[in-house]
Amino acid sequence: MAKIGILGAGSWGTALSLLLSENGHEVTVWSIQKEEVEMLSSKREHLSKLPGVKLPDSICFTGDIASAVVGKDICILAVPSIATRSTAAAMREYVKDGQILVNVAKGIEENTLMTLTEQIEEEIPYANVAVLSGPSHAEEVGRRLPTTCVVGAREKATAEYIQSLFMSKVFRVYTSPDITGIEVGGALKNVIALAAGIADGLGYGDNTKAALITRGITEIARLGVKMGGHLETFAGLTGIGDLIVTCASVHSRNRRAGVLIGEGKSMEEAMKEVKMIVEGVYSTKAAVQLAKKYDVSLPIIEQVNAVLFAGKNPGKAVEDLMMRDGRAESSALPWEQ
């Protein structure tokens, strides 16, 4: 049995608390919101974000961040991506040298262009930072539906230890040394999911969705490899796998926000209606800046950025994508003549 602290009591943090508790671990969950702690402690259920998923009495909920960090074998950061840095800073004084911190959020910081693990490492340089990611909607994990993820770490032993904590008959975990690839795939798939949702909102069909997913993973991999990730990662669970589920699922907040934008709502109106953090909105600006930094072409992501922040008509964005100059699908394939 391990002692595990989870920072963040949203849908993902709550679902993981159930999974880890059922795996026999001692779990403490921290939330910055007093009302959320009181609700989870008394109702044993997250009524707004994970309704119907009952939580055992063995899970402890607290508003004291030290209680979720001190003495824990690992700590899991499950806060929204925009709160990752501030949460890491708040827990810094309680983290011991070499303590394992696992990021499970997805995003890139707009002003620094740093991944979430890079932010955590900057705030707590003496921690052992890892990432867990993949096609894993909290709603399905909470219902104990079979799910598969990848844990990335700098040391194989760390990855295998985290793998052993999470593995169960409904949650399979693979290991990888490619933290950068995992993080880039997890962040940028949300941007493509916004595009997929916009296409749905415009009334487009399966052909359009397939094109966005396929060309989307090409853009993600193109940038990710330039940033130091490995091509194999983008062909795996945290690349194409996570992209498929986020572009197609009814649980995807990014796709849902995109649908609303495609139907005519502004980005602000869509985010307000979704009532959850739409990570792709924040990652879009960062992705466009990264494209300039690494001199990479990201046509879909650039059009999403124009729709979100420049008021471009979504239908015109699709038209501009379709009418770009013709080119080969893969420049790496040679012609015989």
Query: Is there a contact between 189 and 140 (Cβ–Cβ < 8 Å)?
Result: no
179, two tokens: 């933290």
Residue 106: phi and psi, rounded to 5, are -135, 125
Element containing residue 322 per DSSP (H, E) = helix 314-322
Catalytic residue among 189, 265, 285, 316: 189
229/334 Cα distance (integer angstroms): 25
Indicate if 285 belongs to the active site: no
Query: What HEC string does 73-138 produce?
Result: CEEEECCCHHHHHHHHHHHHHHCCCCCEEEECCCCECCCCCCEHHHHHHHHCCCCEEEEEECCCCH
d(CA 241, CA 136): 10
Cα-flanking dihedrals φ and ψ of residue 3, to 5°? -95, 120
Q: Is the dihedral of CA 243, 154, 144, 70 positive or negative?
A: negative
Active site residues: 189
